[in-house]
Structure 1
Amino acid sequence: MKKFKLLFLLTFIASFSFAQKSTAVDGYYPLLRAVYNGDNAYNTVGFVEKYWRIAGNTGFNESIFHVEKILQQAGFQKETSGEADGPLTYRIETRKMRRPTWEPVSSSLTIVGEDKPLLESVTNRNMIAINSASTPAGGTTAEIVYVGTGAAKEFEGKDIAGKIVFGETSVGGLYRNAIARGAVGVIGYSMPRYTQPEKNIHSIQFQGISYDSTKPVFGIALSFNAKEKLKTALAKGVVKVNVKVVSKIYWSDELTIVANARGTEKPGERFVFSAHVQEPGANDNATGVGTLAEMARVTAALIREKKYSPKRTITFLWGDEIVSTGRYIKDDSIRAKGIKWGLSLDMVGEDVSKTGGTFLIEKMPDPSAIWTRGNDKHTEWGGSVLKESDMFPHYFNDFLLNRCRQQAKGNDWIVNSNPYEGGSDHQPFLNAKIPGVLMWHFTDVFYHTDGDRLNMVSAKEMKNVGVSALAAAFTLCAADEDTNLFLIDELSKNANDRIQDEFALSKAAIAKGAKAGDEQKILNTWNDWYQKAFERMSDINTQGVTDKVAKKIENVKALLDKSVSDLVSLLK
């Protein structure tokens, strides 16, 4: 064990001396904290979250135009002939949609014979399923047919033509089976356990049905409370309900807004931020819209005041989740080659004392997505076990975590991470082999529900996220040799800390009967991941790779390789 003790001592000494260094990275924090206004971000959330937003509808488009006003006031100029029009430019991209957009106006669900509606959209704005058509002026009155879990066999022997199907499953799942059998509408109940529906009895998650212009039908989603009341009524006999839906279905354009703080030396290389506008909630994702809008304002202010000058371009993008980001990457192959980092802001403003979530960095695929253990945990959103071939070795994971932890020093902000799960705007970057990471919160008991409103949002949380995200972009878009060397040292400490943690976990696993060979493989896989991550650090310095940087990378790789080899030999 002498080798292990010596390695630990050397790592500790290196960590101590590393912590004493002051770099350009440190200087960004006081600069950004002084200018970033969390109330600005919060006020934008207040504007956006009042709308029920999907691509092309009124709320989505008004949110885009609101961001445009913020950009204009910050000094961004509308492009006339391209990004090179000036140091701060923006554009709104307009595309014809392949299908009509949709927006809810009002709705109610009433059990015939009762005075008060079981549900009303004024208190449960998620009750109308996306793509639901309007009912006649007086509503649609029909008998309810209960189909349990909504499985195909539950429909056997039941006459549902002209009736409304009710099942304890998603509205979309019911729709496929019920409408083909002549139902005039569907009512579904489906709430994940992490939303705590028996506690939050009035919460409804938004859902959708397929659009079909030949079948103007509706779907209604129930809260736990409404579901129980409807089942109680059905237990007493035949139940009829009246459903009133007023909605708008119309052709529209899809809008994406893109702003650029143009790099002075390498404008073709860029750091891209993305925040999606669609989804009706406050945290999801009006907070992403608001946080990013304030980040753009801060960036413009510091550039105009000559307090910061990006050598690479910083891009800010707002649009339709995954679609807009994916298109931004795919539409211009030359531009795509210059995208060096992508960062998605999704659900970044949670008041964690109310939602139950925590701030998270969702990492690009690393070995924690294969062997999830120790402090690594998947969220309730869920993630599948990946393979070694799925790995994306890169310094970006640790780099962003370090920037957030640096912001968290001295305040009560809690920063955690989770293994890769996918499902947001970081995914298109990774699909294109571009480093892409997600900033978000989970678990959120109000996720996708009509309880996700402005009172669940924290201006302080958005400021912590915004400052951290900009510190990351500012660092990488103006990095010199010294910054590059500092970040290599920083990643070296992260790598050593990870290897020490994995070694301890493997020792404990072997003591409980795990095979030494399996545990050795885990350490060797982490070593391989970090070896390749170090190699990617040659792209940080805006002036290119220097001899010092190249030698530093080789030195830390060799040291890590030796320490892992020593520790692997101790796993027996």
Structure 2
Amino acid sequence: MKKLLTLSLSLLLLHAATSSLWAQPSAREKKYFNLLQKTFDEQQAYNTVWFVEQRWRLAGNSGFNESIYHVEKILQQAGYKKETDGEATGTLTYRIEKRPMKHKTWEPVDASLYIVGDKEPLLQFRTNRNMIAMYSASTPAEGVTAELVYIGKGSAKEWEGKDVKGKIVMGEAGIGGVYSNAMKNGAIGALAYSMHAYNQPTKYTNSIQFQGIGYTDSLRQKWGLLLSYAAKEKLKAAIAKGPVTVKVVVNTRIYESEELTLVANVRGKTQPNERFVFSAHVQEPGANDNATGVGTLAEMARTTALLVQKKKVVPQRTLTFLWGDEVVSTRRYIQDDTVRAKGIKWGLSLDMVGEDTQKTGGTFLIEKMPDPSAIWTRGEEKHSEWGGSPMKEEDMFPHYFNDLLLNRCLFEAANTGWVVRTNPFEGGSDHTPFLNARIPGLLMWHFTDVFYHTDADRLDMVSPMEMKHVAKSALATAYLLTTADNKTAVALINDITRNALKRLETEFNLSIKAVQEGNDKAKEKHILEVWSDWYIKALACTIDIPAGEAGRKVREAIEKAQQHIRQQTAVYISQL
């Protein structure tokens, strides 16, 4: 026992002596943050959001393509040159990849919904830009008028005895299912209401979340409209009084197109085949989702070009900026070139990164790569309302990237009051293709947003300063990793070790409480062991931080850090 207490005391003294040092950013990091504070122009980022959010964007449609070409102009003005012989043609290059689409694209033009007898429309596209279900066909120019049949939530029992042939169906369920069943039964169109509780539809009664219907062919395709809470309630009230007839006018375009992906590169000086890849998806019609990702990344690319041209930043590894179709473009970028994929060392997705949190209710989050918090979600850890599937120990992805990005964000927060949180891995955005390829990948985003995927996600919900916080933290992380020498690597290893010891302390306290409440002591020990193992393996990965061969001091720093973690874990387990 005496030996154990002595060991514990020595570790506590060591932690006290070093934690303040680890908490301080290096001179290089301070330099990067100062440069970014002066150079990143949040108003330019906001202007790009303004341009993009006006357009209803789906891969291949005019709004999507106009957004891509708008970012291209920003790159050109920043000094990026169009590739003539691959990425090696210069320090700043870009290309637009074009691929024929396997399916047609779609875009909305106009729509309106009337209760026959009312002078004013119940819904109109001008004020409810998500009211047309994606891949809806047009009605005749004069519209269609038919009786409305209500089928509740669309269960099999609720469909029984309903004659909907030549009529319009209304259901309180996702438009996909309502439309599909309506078409099978001879209806001419469908109305549907489906909103998540986090959208607070009874408060924001005119919100509509975008959804889509399946596409068959131009001859058989009909239409579906999405209802707001207010519209749904008014229709139900009218139905309760007797038969209701509605008039629907829909104007859309469905056509052959090509898919565009924009890729810009800042070529590394000594290790150009190793790269840090940023991605932001262009499709989806909202301002925060994801015009803010597009605008922030465009300004990040411009800022980086300026700093590189002035030799304020000299990347040894390549920085890549990618804009395209969510998941699809990122996955293709990884899979299309196996040689290039081997050099992708980190992937970072920007998805909904500019929210005015006072208006949306969202919180800035870093979605972590799978760590033990995705198995044992406890303490301050919690999933977003998007939710996550249960994970197993074999699903873990030990790596330092989680903590490295988090620490940069916390440094920005300490100086600005920015609120930074994390959530366990959930998936669903451009970080997942990286992880599926066993490449470290993270997501910067905001949730839970009451206006998520609704037509209220417009420019007035965007904060230029929120975009700047995200951009500074993301770029500082990328600059550190693409310019890292052995000295930087050692500093980052110490930084991550501090996180590891803090996490072990947190988990130990949670386990002590759990044991006191009657939980299985063996299980609690196992949780500590898994966290310890995760960080030991994560620190082993830091050997790749230097842009070049890792020297003796880096290897010694890793070994020393791992030993600290093993010792502290042993102390905690003995005290359970």
TM-score, scaled to structure 2:
0.98
Q: Is the 8 A contact 2:11 2:564 kept in 1?
A: no
- Unaligned segments of structure 2, at least 5 residues: none
- My pick for the range that moved more, 138-147 or 89-98, is 138-147
Partner of 2:293: 288
Looking at structure 1, the residues matched to 295 and 525 of structure 2 have their Cα atoms a distance apart, in angstroms, of: 46
Partner of 1:456: 461
1:128 aligned onto 2:132: yes
Partner of 1:7: 11
Looking at structure 1, the residues matched to 169 and 282 of structure 2 have their Cα atoms a distance apart, in angstroms, of: 33
Partner of 1:167: 171
The code of the aligned residue for 2:95 comes to R
Counterparts in 2 of 1:160 and 1:192: CA distance versus 1, 3 Å? same
What SS is found at the alignment partner of 1:421? Answer: coil
What SS is found at the alignment partner of 1:410? Answer: helix
Q: 1:518-554 CA distances to partner (integer Å, 9 max, x unpaired)?
A: 1111100000100110010000001212111111111
Q: 1:468-523 CA distances to partner (integer Å, 9 max, x unpaired)?
A: 11001100000000000000000000000000000000111111111101111110
1:313 aligned onto 2:318: yes
2:384 to 367, 374, 379: 379
Partner of 1:215: 220
Looking at structure 1, the residues matched to 261 and 282 of structure 2 have their Cα atoms a distance apart, in angstroms, of: 9
Looking at structure 1, the residues matched to 533 and 373 of structure 2 have their Cα atoms a distance apart, in angstroms, of: 13
Partner of 1:365: 370
**Displacement after TM superposition at 1:6 (Å):** 4.8
Q: 1:430-485 CA distances to partner (integer Å, 9 max, x unpaired)?
A: 00000000000001000000000000000000001011110011000000000000
What SS is found at the alignment partner of 1:409? Answer: helix
1:426 to 419, 428, 431: 431
The correspondence of residues 176-187 of structure 1 with structure 2, limited to 5 A, is: 176-187=180-191
The code of the aligned residue for 1:407 comes to E
1:193 to 197, 201, 211: 197
**Displacement after TM superposition at 1:23 (Å):** 3.2
1:143 aligned onto 2:147: yes
Q: Is the 8 A contact 1:23 1:486 kept in 2?
A: no
1:249 aligned onto 2:254: yes
Partner of 2:280: 275
1:322 aligned onto 2:327: yes
The code of the aligned residue for 1:202 comes to N
Q: Percent identity?
A: 60
Partner of 2:562: 557
Q: How many residue pairs end up in the alignment?
A: 571
Counterparts in 2 of 1:536 and 1:112: CA distance versus 1, 3 Å? same
Looking at structure 1, the residues matched to 11 and 90 of structure 2 have their Cα atoms a distance apart, in angstroms, of: 52
Partner of 1:103: 107
Q: Is the 8 A contact 1:23 1:483 kept in 2?
A: no
**Displacement after TM superposition at 1:7 (Å):** 3.2
Q: 1:389-411 CA distances to partner (integer Å, 9 max, x unpaired)?
A: 11000000000000111111221
**Root-mean-square deviation (Å):** 1.0
Q: 1:268-305 CA distances to partner (integer Å, 9 max, x unpaired)?
A: 00000000000000000000000000000000001111
Partner of 1:337: 342
Q: 1:222-250 CA distances to partner (integer Å, 9 max, x unpaired)?
A: 11100100000000111110010000111
Q: 1:367-397 CA distances to partner (integer Å, 9 max, x unpaired)?
A: 0000001111100111111100110000000
Q: Is the 8 A contact 2:80 2:93 kept in 1?
A: yes
- My pick for the range that moved more, 10-19 or 266-275, is 10-19
What SS is found at the alignment partner of 2:319? Answer: strand
Q: Is the 8 A contact 2:90 2:267 kept in 1?
A: yes
What SS is found at the alignment partner of 1:109? Answer: strand
Partner of 1:62: 66
What SS is found at the alignment partner of 1:158? Answer: coil
Looking at structure 2, the residues matched to 318 and 200 of structure 1 have their Cα atoms a distance apart, in angstroms, of: 32
Q: Is the 8 A contact 2:199 2:449 kept in 1?
A: yes
Looking at structure 2, the residues matched to 222 and 513 of structure 1 have their Cα atoms a distance apart, in angstroms, of: 50
- My pick for the range that moved more, 81-90 or 408-417, is 408-417
1:92 to 92, 96, 104: 96
Counterparts in 2 of 1:13 and 1:121: CA distance versus 1, 3 Å? same
Q: Is the 8 A contact 1:488 1:552 kept in 2?
A: yes
Looking at structure 1, the residues matched to 9 and 24 of structure 2 have their Cα atoms a distance apart, in angstroms, of: 23
